[in-house]
Amino acid sequence: MQLPNGTNAQVTHIGQVRLFHHITLHNVLLVPSFSYNHLSTSKLTNSGVISLVVLGNLCFLQDLSK
């Protein structure tokens, strides 16, 4: 996987992660060299079923399918 700074990071697994009982992220990449979890907000919101609102240090996810 190529990072925005031009370096490469090795992806060892691809799977899914359940955020909540009704929100599952698919095609999640496991990159062991990353020290933190990263979430692509554009991929999350472009799915069309989730809205993301960021207010200061708060982040709200809303399931639009319900």
Residue 20 falls inside a structural domain: yes
Q: Which pLDDT tens digit goes with each residue over 12-38?
A: 999 998 877 777 888 889 999 999 888
Distance CA 12, CA 17 (A): 15
Residue 19 falls inside a structural domain: yes
- Tokens coding 41: 């907000």
**Does the predicted model carry a pTM greater than 0.75?**
no
Q: How confident is the model at residue 5 (pLDDT cuts 50, 70, 90)?
A: very high
Measured in whole angstroms, the distance separating CA 19 from the mean position of its chain's CA atoms is 10
Domain that holds residue 47: 13-63
Query: For the chain, what is the domain count?
Result: 1
